[in-house]
Amino acid sequence: MKGKYVKGATQGCLFRKFVDNHCYMSVQESEKIFQEKIDNEIRIEPKDWMPEKYRQTLIRQISQHAHSEIVGMLPEGNWISRAPSLKRKQILIAKVQDEAGHGLYVYSAAETLVISRDEMIEQLHSGKAKYSSIFNYPTLTWADMGAIGWLVDGAAIMNQVPLCRASYGPYSRAMIRVCKEESFHQRQGFESLLVLSKGSEEQKAMVQDAINRWWWPSIMMFGPHDTESQHSEQSMKWKIKRFSNDELRQRFVDMCAEQVKLLGMTLPDTDLKWNEETKHYDFGKINWEEFWNVVSGNGPCNKQRLDARRKAWEEGAWVREAAKAYAEKTAIKNKQEMAA
Amino acid sequence: MVFFQKHLYGDYGDKESPTGGGTEKHSANEWPLWEIFIRSKQGLDHKHVGSLHAVDAQMAIENARDVYTRRQEGVSIWVVESKHIHASNPDEAESFYEPANDKVYRHPTFYDLPDEIKHM
């Protein structure tokens, strides 16, 4: 099949026209066109032909992202009733609402790949689908709210900004919306810590303690070292992923190592040191044993988190059913009234 | 060549291939799916922002307000049940849009006018 270059009608840009009538093509030809679109930063949309593995990889990645947003509401929801002021309470409620919204945008994107919401929820509750392991840690003090905003949302932003250019259209658009909202999350967290860091000795100690507990789990959010792994060259080729784990992690460390100075605090890493040659911060060894433990279900809060989600789903069933019954009843009533 | 595993939001050791739970769909009890369109200012058009589940149009509008307009993005919300949206077939794009390809004279830039002409 040929592509021909045609001077497009709008603004004189060049468009490559693809012969894309897939019913007449072999799988190899379809894959070639598909890959060419990706290489040219053309988005793949729900009705486009795509390799089955691309679809399945995306379903897993996107649904697990959505699960992470929803489960992520729990550690912070914990402190809404105990926020130190009305302003902080309002801010925290707004942040948690946003996380619910993010989960919904991302579930919607996943559904375009032909999987139902119920099915995804069941995968989460059965343990078949995972969510980001950072949310399996407890939130022990008010300063944890600030630390989570600064570090956890910060790491999420680092991961999500490149995804705004992911190859799958609905996912990249969802990411653009998420990223716009996420920056307030990080700023409110840092600002909260900044205020505490100028307070009493106890408040300062609380900040340092929260940083000490959230730092290592946050940099673990980027996943194992690049060298540790099997292949995911495919995900990079398909532009579902744009940067490697270690690359993103290094950027994050460099950023936080500077920001922590403004808090007058330290990161709990005695090996953290500026490297004049590489122009990056060297940092210490990650405790991968803890990491794998938490991922495999033995973290401090794994059971709590899933129990809370299952409970919410089961106890909310009557609401879903009642709403549906009410809508059906109303529809019948309206039909009767129109007929009369 | 460096191979690396990109771990997907908590999925760090799952070796089994993702199946999406087979072909059985659990959608029998689900609320219908709606597509949401929001217009953010007077005079601009409604844009598709995403989808959500709701039992009827009223709930869809209220949910759309909660999910998609938390930052005053909306003055107008349209909701359409997804099943009522009909779309052109991307596979047929080449032939479907072909008639416009060779009609450059539809564009103002095709016409060369002297510089003295203003306001045209």
CATH number, residue B65: 3.10.20.520
Closest chain B residue by Cα to residue A237: B3
CB distance A244–B6 less than 8 Å?
yes
| pLDDT reported for residue B107 | 87
Question: Measured between CB atoms, does A18 come within 8 Å of chain B?
Answer: yes
Q: Is the pLDDT confidence value at A28 over 60?
A: yes
Q: Is residue B57 part of a domain?
A: yes
Classify residue B93: in a domain, yes or no.
yes
**Percent with pLDDT over 90 in chain A:** 80
Give residue A189's pLDDT band: very low, low, confident or very high (50, 70, 90): very high
Asked if the structure places residue B1 within a domain, the reply is no
Q: Please check whether residue B12 lies inside any domain of the structure.
A: no
- Residue A310 confidence (pLDDT) above 70: yes
Instruction: Report d(CA A134, CA A148) in Å as an integer.
Output: 10
Q: Which of A128, A131, A232 sits opposite B4 (nearest CB)?
A: A232
- The tokens for B28 are 């029998």
Nearest beta carbon to residue B3 from set A48, A108, A230: A230
Distance from CA of A197 to the nearest CA of B (A): 30
Averaged pLDDT of chain A: 90
Long-range contacts of A255-260 (CB under 8 A, 24+ apart): A255/A154, A255/A158, A256/A150, A256/A151, A256/A154, A256/A215, A257/A281, A259/A150, A259/A190, A260/A211
Give the closest-approach CA distance of B43 to chain A in angstroms.
22
Q: Do A97 and B70 touch (CB under 8 A)?
A: yes
Distance CA A45, CA B90 (A): 9
Could you tell me if residue B97 is inside a domain? yes
ipTM: 0.77
pLDDT at position A35 over 50: yes
Count of structural domains, chain B: 1
Query: For the segment A216-226, what is each residue's pLDDT rounded down to a tens digit?
Result: 999 999 988 88
Residue B106, domain member (yes or no) = yes
Q: Would B79 be classed as within a structural domain?
A: yes
- CB within 8 Å: B29 and A118: yes
pLDDT single digits (tens) B7-26:
455 544 433 333 333 333 44
Task: Note whether residue B35 is domain-resident.
Answer: yes
**Residue B27 confidence (pLDDT):** 56
Rounded to the nearest 5°, which phi and psi values hold at B92?
-100, 15
Q: Write out pLDDT tens, residues B22-77.
A: 333 445 678 999 999 999 877 688 999 999 999 999 999 999 999 988 887 678 99
What's the domain range around B56?
Answer: 29-110
Number of cross-chain residue pairs from A and B with Cβ atoms under 8 Å apart: 175
The answer to whether B25 faces chain A, any CB pair under 8 Å, is yes
Structure tokens given for B111: 């016409």
